[in-house]
Chains A and B, each alone.
Chain A
Amino acid sequence: MLAGYDTLITTIALFAILAYSFHVVLMAGQLSLGQAGFASLAAYVSTLVVPTEPIAGSLSPVLVGLPVGALVGAAAAFVVGLPVLRLRGVFLAIATIAFGEMVRVVINNAEWTNGALGVRVEKWVTFDFAWIIVAVLAYLFWRLGPSRSGRAFAAVREDELAAGAMGVDVVRTRMASFVASGAIAGVYGVMFAYFFGRITPATFDFALTVDGLITAVLGGYLVFFGPVLGAGFLTLVPEIQKALGLEAGWIHPLVTGTLLLAVVLFLPGGLSTLFSRLRRAPARPGPDYAPLDSLDPLPDPGTPIASVTGLAKSYGAVDAVRGVDLEIRSGEVLGVIGPNGAGKTTLVNMISGLEPPTAGEGQILGVPLGSRPHRFAQAGVSRTFQHSKLFERLTVLDNVLVGTHVVSRSTYLRRLLWLPSARRDERRALALAWAQLERVGLADRAGLRPGALSYGDRRRLEIARALAAHPTLLILDEPAAGMNHVEAAELATLIRGLADDGVTVLFIEHNVKMVLEACTRLVVLDFGEVIAEGEPREVASDPRVIEAYLGTEAEAPEESEHV
């Protein structure tokens, strides 16, 4: 029945495999376009290394070639990734394109590859075998989506800085997606060779890269079956055209281009979002989960948890922070105030690892200053940002689930095997996330995207996400900015409640009334230096503080303007 369509069906499968090699990097937000190079290396190495006759009587060369190809692709990606992954966006794209083209030129000119003539092999790939490979890939991605690693990919894609602050090792996650992409591209190269029976340097050119990218984007990289959908769609367009009796050669590229344009403009998530819009609203896990019991206890009140001395940061000739000494003890609510440009955000950026200090030393929860952000997060530092950095294409609940990264274990491999313990761990993370949503009063909006929330709710969501990490030290950068009086008062209550639970809070705020209500100790910065420190009321009446921060009038303004 399928006899006449063998090639067509296998072509769809091959394109889907190619598209998966783009899917995996796009999932993590990396525009990497070196797949043609990885596929080429893998195809050449495996066809030349693997014997042409079945091994041990029955093992066909493609079965041996696939792992070889995957390995070559992954290894090449790792080696290329080391220097290249420092780049981002179009720079990464262009560097990886350059790599692919260099591979093509070298293979074209080398002796061992038979130059432009290419290599001939037997055809071993049948359409059912090709689809088994696609099914395996689809399964891998299906299980990845709602796992801890899958959420880490999504977090890195949406906002690298926030992902790092939530404890995701951004460098490792990007490399993992890059190497996986190389491995899948390698599989594609080998499959291609053993299906079409011939490879030449021109097989793996820039046009192939564009095709793979288009397929992955058209299908959609937010849903696991996107590549299959994209491959099916793009392969069937010329068939439908033929069936309709439209022979002109230009119709196919015209239709493909128009279709792609329409999808990008009107269906940002790709074709697959058409099929995944019917998802149920997330449900609260049953009452049988008491997640908070299983968390490590916070340090006793009064224990020193952080101390820094001589902390400084300069940007070129501008000294943002100069010689700050600070000690933080468990259980306190430390307020940091100061005029705009006083260095408050720079200070907390250094304390949470987002920026390395230019000078000074110290440790935060045992992590030396200057370490990468995820180390601080793993040690128990969690934070929000002055300009909210939410994962915009994840739901409210998924945003908070990313927050549980540092207090949960990796579940991906166990999910592949359907181990019950993976399910338990995911349920636990879910219960933790729900608890935080309820704590800040957002439980009824769990299924929305952050873009649909009000400004105040977005700030609350950031706090819930930070709390989901079960932090020892919670850093809030102007949490009340943009909130009205009622919301700010609620926030002050929430912060005091956190302190009662043993969480240490460091917060930057312009709303002086709120600072005085919520904090137990106050630090005032001006021009990057600490000008006063101590009991809030006393500090607020210090003439130097009044002059530097509140202006010359003694009355503290009820609502300080936020710029």
Chain B
Amino acid sequence: MLLQQLANGVFAGSIYALFAIGFTLVFGVLRHLNLAHPAVFTAGAFVGIEVAARTAIPVWILFPVVALFGALAGVLVERIAFRPLRGRDDEHFAGLISSVALGGVVIALLQARYGTEPQSFSADYFPNQLFEFAGVRVTLTQLVTLGLALVLMLGLAWLVSATSLGRSMRAVAENPTAAKVLGVNVGRVTAGTYALSSALGTVAGALLALNLGQAGRDLGASIELVGFAVIILGGLGSLWGAMAAGVVLGIAEALTIHLFDSTWKSMVAFALLFAVLVLRPRGLFGQVKVREV
């Protein structure tokens, strides 16, 4: 029973992590907290469901399609909500508000297209096979989720550490002005960062919808606060931190359900979040910088 809960926690945690690394990537590179991310996440779920229903393409083609949509959406989010604010005195604060506003617009557009009812994957879209390991029952969907999340996270880590785009991203994160002077195309890196972040976000959304079988407009809102908790626990801007914190939080929630009941589930995330912020603002895994100025 406990083992089952732990396994469920790991699966939930892998979606949290996937959602949160998109959040934290943009913050780490550009110091933007993109609050439209939950809405893009929700849009990913809806688009995934619609594409699956219309084309009946298999799941391994569905996710790249969703990711492509997400990348496009990410570029648009940056263009609309962040780029016009560049260089303004209140850039960071205004970016929070403009991305909240854009998120609201995205949700309204989803409502215009799909109505107020939740959308569902058709029951036979993905085989709901059940496996059993040492008494722990796992669905095929959960395995795919975990696998895909792992592949994407490792892929992102590789991309950031070993490719030229990743090198440029790290340069911009360190010092945008210096990066520009040294010939890094900051505009392209910015767009690329948003594209990656949103692609991960939409895939996470579609994965969660696949696990739940359906998606409502509040899918993103329901995970947004947990996402905050994950990125803070992991140390804002830290990819590995967000991955670890996502899983930690998933397990912590599962344990809370096991020990108390589900109404206390979200308390864990916020209590942990609050404690970490007050006691160790750099996060559990974040490193202390010597001097920021």
Q: In this assembly, does A260 line the interface, its C-beta being within 8 Å of a C-beta of chain B?
A: yes
B266 touches A101 (CB 8 A): yes
A248 touches B112 (CB 8 A): yes
Most A CB within 10 A of own CB, among B103, B116, B229, B267: B267
19 CB contacts below 8 A, A to B, read A87-B278, A90-B96, A91-B236, A94-B228, A94-B277, A95-B273, A97-B225, A98-B225, A98-B229, A101-B270, A105-B267, A253-B105, A254-B104, A254-B112, A257-B103, A261-B101, A265-B94, A268-B94, A316-B291
Q: In this assembly, does A249 line the interface, its C-beta being within 8 Å of a C-beta of chain B?
A: yes
- State A91–B88 Cα separation when bound (angstroms): 21
Chain A residues within an 8 Å CB radius of B109: 250, 254
Known A-B contacts A105-B266, A261-B81; the reply to A95 vs B97 at CB < 8 A is no
What's the nearest-Cβ distance from chain B to residue A240, in Å? 16
Chain B residues within an 8 Å CB radius of A233: none
Task: Specify the chain A residue showing the minimal Cβ separation from B113.
Answer: A250
Q: In this assembly, does A7 line the interface, its C-beta being within 8 Å of a C-beta of chain B?
A: no
Task: Specify the chain A residue showing the minimal Cβ separation from B102.
Answer: A261
B92 touches A89 (CB 8 A): yes
What's the nearest-Cβ distance from chain B to residue A40, in Å? 14
Q: In this assembly, does B263 line the interface, its C-beta being within 8 Å of a C-beta of chain A?
A: yes
Q: In this assembly, does A102 line the interface, its C-beta being within 8 Å of a C-beta of chain B?
A: yes
B100 touches A214 (CB 8 A): yes
Chain A residues within an 8 Å CB radius of B80: 261
Given contacts A90-B27, A91-B232, A251-B108, 12 further A-B contacts (CB under 8 A): A95-B274, A206-B224, A250-B112, A254-B108, A254-B112, A258-B105, A260-B98, A260-B104, A264-B101, A265-B94, A268-B90, A392-B89
Chain B residues within an 8 Å CB radius of A101: 225, 266, 270
User: Which 10 A-B pairs have CB atoms at the shortest separation, nearest pair first?
Assistant: A257-B104, A254-B108, A257-B105, A250-B111, A260-B101, A253-B108, A261-B101, A98-B270, A250-B112, A95-B277
Q: In this assembly, does B131 line the interface, its C-beta being within 8 Å of a C-beta of chain A?
A: no
Q: Which chain B residues in 25-53 approach chain A with CB under 8 Å?
A: 27, 33
A interface, over-half SS: helix
Known A-B contacts A84-B278, A95-B273, A98-B274; the reply to A257 vs B263 at CB < 8 A is no
A393 touches B89 (CB 8 A): yes
A94 touches B101 (CB 8 A): no
Q: Which chain A residues in 238-287 approach chain B with CB under 8 Å?
A: 248-254, 256-258, 260-261, 264-265, 268
What's the nearest-Cβ distance from chain A to residue B26, in Å? 12
Chain B 73-102 interface 0/1 with A at a Cβ cutoff of 8 Å (1 = within) = 000000011001100111011101110111
Q: In this assembly, does A108 line the interface, its C-beta being within 8 Å of a C-beta of chain B?
A: yes
Known A-B contacts A90-B33, A214-B97, A249-B111; the reply to A256 vs B104 at CB < 8 A is yes
Chain B residues within an 8 Å CB radius of A248: 112
B94 touches A264 (CB 8 A): yes
- State A31–B105 Cα separation when bound (angstroms): 23
A253 touches B107 (CB 8 A): yes
Q: In this assembly, does A210 line the interface, its C-beta being within 8 Å of a C-beta of chain B?
A: yes
Contact of B98 among A84, A90, A213, A261 (CB under 8 A): A261
A257 touches B97 (CB 8 A): no
Most A CB within 10 A of own CB, among B103, B112, B277: B277
Q: In this assembly, does B271 line the interface, its C-beta being within 8 Å of a C-beta of chain A?
A: yes
Q: In this assembly, does B290 line the interface, its C-beta being within 8 Å of a C-beta of chain A?
A: yes
A91 touches B281 (CB 8 A): yes
Contact of B290 among A97, A210, A254, A315 (CB under 8 A): A315
Q: In this assembly, does A99 line the interface, its C-beta being within 8 Å of a C-beta of chain B?
A: yes
Q: Which chain A residues in 548-563 approach chain B with CB under 8 Å?
A: none
- State A315–B98 Cα separation when bound (angstroms): 37
Chain B residues within an 8 Å CB radius of A256: 104
Most A CB within 10 A of own CB, among B108, B229, B232, B263: B108
B274 touches A99 (CB 8 A): yes
B277 touches A91 (CB 8 A): yes
B273 touches A94 (CB 8 A): yes
Q: In this assembly, does A114 line the interface, its C-beta being within 8 Å of a C-beta of chain B?
A: no
How many A-B pairs fall under 8 Å by CB? 125
B290 touches A105 (CB 8 A): no
B interface, over-half SS: helix
Q: In this assembly, does B264 line the interface, its C-beta being within 8 Å of a C-beta of chain A?
A: yes
A109 touches B225 (CB 8 A): no
Known A-B contacts A99-B274, A250-B111, A253-B111; the reply to A260 vs B97 at CB < 8 A is yes
What's the nearest-Cβ distance from chain A to residue B176, in Å? 17
- State A12–B52 Cα separation when bound (angstroms): 44
Q: In this assembly, does A217 line the interface, its C-beta being within 8 Å of a C-beta of chain B?
A: yes
A257 touches B274 (CB 8 A): no
Q: In this assembly, does A83 line the interface, its C-beta being within 8 Å of a C-beta of chain B?
A: yes
Chain B residues within an 8 Å CB radius of A264: 85, 94, 97-98, 101
- State A99–B264 Cα separation when bound (angstroms): 14
Q: Which chain B residues in 245-269 approach chain A with CB under 8 Å?
A: 263-264, 266-267
A31 touches B108 (CB 8 A): no
Chain B residues within an 8 Å CB radius of A102: 267, 270-271, 274
- State A253–B42 Cα separation when bound (angstroms): 16
Q: Which chain B residues in 217-244 approach chain A with CB under 8 Å?
A: 221, 224-225, 228-229, 232, 236
What's the nearest-Cβ distance from chain A to residue B99, in Å? 9
Known A-B contacts A105-B263, A250-B109; the reply to A98 vs B277 at CB < 8 A is yes
A87 touches B105 (CB 8 A): no
- State A31–B116 Cα separation when bound (angstroms): 32
Chain B 122-149 interface 0/1 with A at a Cβ cutoff of 8 Å (1 = within) = 0000000000000000000000000000
A90 touches B236 (CB 8 A): yes
B84 touches A265 (CB 8 A): yes
A206 touches B225 (CB 8 A): yes
Known A-B contacts A91-B281, A94-B228, A95-B273; the reply to A254 vs B105 at CB < 8 A is yes
Chain A 81-122 interface 0/1 with B at a Cβ cutoff of 8 Å (1 = within) = 001101101110111011101100110110000000000000
What's the nearest-Cβ distance from chain A to residue B260, in Å? 9
- State A94–B283 Cα separation when bound (angstroms): 13
Chain A residues within an 8 Å CB radius of B229: 98
